[in-house]
Structure 1
Amino acid sequence: MEFTHQKEFTRLLLAWHRKENRREMPWKGIRDPYRIWLAEIILQQTRVEQGREYYERFVEAYPTLADLAAAREEEVFRLWQGLGYYNRCRNLLHTARELMKSHGGRFPRNYKELLSLKGIGPYTAAAIASFAFDLPHAVVDGNVLRVLSRYFALNMPIDTQAGKKYYTRLANELIPPEEPAIFNQAIMDLGATICKPQAPLCRQCPLASLCKAFQLGKQEQFPVKLTRRTVRERYFHYLVCWFGDHTIIQKREGKDIWRGLYEFPMIEKERLAGTELLQEDTAWKNLMPDGSWQLKGIVERQQQLTHQLISARFFYVETDREPRVLSPQILVHCKQLHQYAFPGIIVKYLRSGQQPLLL
């Protein structure tokens, strides 16, 4: 594809970056593919400020690929708690073990081989290839899409497969083969600090004189998106049943959200239900022997996921008779709860002071 001012784009961008116009991050400038990979996985769907915290924790707990591969799943999930998108964590552990088992503990130095690893898509493969091995592969994230779409005033939607391929091809044409890592970092930094989604700082942008969107006064109209996200609403009801200093939790299985994490016994309904749920013949009945329990409080929490809105109602109950705990439920002491990884919505509840234990 041919556009005007392509060479100028790269030249101006690199000149701007060399003037110290770059963000300082603990993972920037490193060549270790393990730490680059770790940072990129953590930063997917995560704000940089939050991601930095988790990156530093993981590096401290698992300084090498071998350390991560040898870790227990429960420990890794617990460290990941609060980041969400737990498939990332699951794939992280799987790939670490696969690299140790089948690749001699080394990351492939080839883009296609990197792409074959579980949990590593085009973006992460390009990041490892360029930042660790100086290979000319463009790292195309939301910041890059925004910069390119505005500079060239492109009407190609960024949220389609065709659009992603289109912008990746363009970025690969712009990348200088001799400085791929610097180019990738520069364009991401520009998008994050100058060419922001709202109220971009166009007067400070090194590309403004040639930016078509700026010349047209249409910066806010780019990038173009085709689809609107549909959000599924779900209603979870949790029984927080305390017997002395013990409570009941269970591990989430199947292919639903939060697989591998723990939660209180849960019933999902089409809408939020009231206290009548405590009287119904449900899986909760064995945990609350007749006449032995008291309802101490009800708390509601919400959590917004990418395509789901979870509304949860927590029924805090105390009983003086030992509950009949059935698999997969387990009875745990309050001092052991910190050993388990919970979804963010439950962590917020546990820290709210509505029950005997604060995590």
Structure 2
Amino acid sequence: MVASVVDGVAVRGVVGCIPQGRESQADLIARFGEEAALKIVKATGIEARHRVETDQCASDLGEHAARRLLDGMGWDAASVDLLVFVTQTPDHPLPGNGALLHRRLGLRKSVPVLDLTQGCAGFVYGLWTASVMVKSIGRRALLIVGDTTSRFIDPLDRAVAPLFGDAAAAIALECAPDAGRMAFDLGSDGAGAPYLTVEGGAMRRPDRLPRLFMDGTQVFAFTLREVPGSVRAALASVGWGIGDIDHLVLHQANAQMIHHLAQKLGATPDQTVVALAEVGNTSSASIPLALCLALSSELTSQSRRLLLSGFGVGWSWGSVALTVGPVSLCETLTLLGRNDPAESAAPATDAD
């Protein structure tokens, strides 16, 4: 495990974005039958997922979130010194989504762009990378995370189709002398690569579409093996115990896994954030999206001690203990279809 403490960088705002297209429990019933669908919902806690349309990409979700973030924060695009885009579903093999957003948002030519290919640990990895970099090169950073995993889902695969939704989030970071420390713990184990994968490149078979494969048993075992130690290491780096935090926000994989991990860590139900019922597993966007859906009113009105932990493909995992708030903006938007000219903002709601 790699421990890293970053001082003097604050989270100033978070905006999540989900696409308008929605797949509900009724769709699962029609596909798998009522008994099977109800078992899936009971086991996962996921009742619906949002899916992009065929002409929408991760960059569209990220751009929608980033524009609202910059506008709501009152940040001119010229004040941004760094852009980091984290996705495992880029619009193109190249260029990366960072370059696309750099142009669309009108950032300065002197602003460096970094694309990270990372999965469900991607938000924590991106937060660490952007925080370390912005301290060296400027004052303000824009972190965008998001995936359109539905592109790789076989709709008849019960192991993945009921779980994954599409989403993105934009996070505003700013160097400030009064910002608290962020304590990270990061790790990887490449032995897990075969258990969560999409065939591509030289490994892709030309006679079939690339599909997501997940061995749920291996994922669950990996999570219980590695994540609790990572969470404890991040907490120890700032001298906190699990009882010292206000909220534990784990990657929103499924409700059963979240509750199991929280119990193993000794977190109470009131501390544990579960905010996936209407959005599902949104990969790299799941943690910031959970902040917007469950903690918006808290984070915009007061300071909260948080432990955030993401984990998944690779295997890879990352945890961070930090204080967030009060932030200027914490909300969730809906990206409408190309044929709908209206703009929609879904108000963030508190969840238990």
> Which band: TM-score by shorter chain?
under 0.3
Work out which of the two has the higher radius of gyration on C-alpha atoms and give 1 or 2.
Answer: 1
- Higher RCO (CA 8 Å, separation ≥ 6 residues): 2
TM value normalised by structure 1: 0.24
- Larger proportion of helix: 1
Structure 1 or 2: more strand by fraction: 2
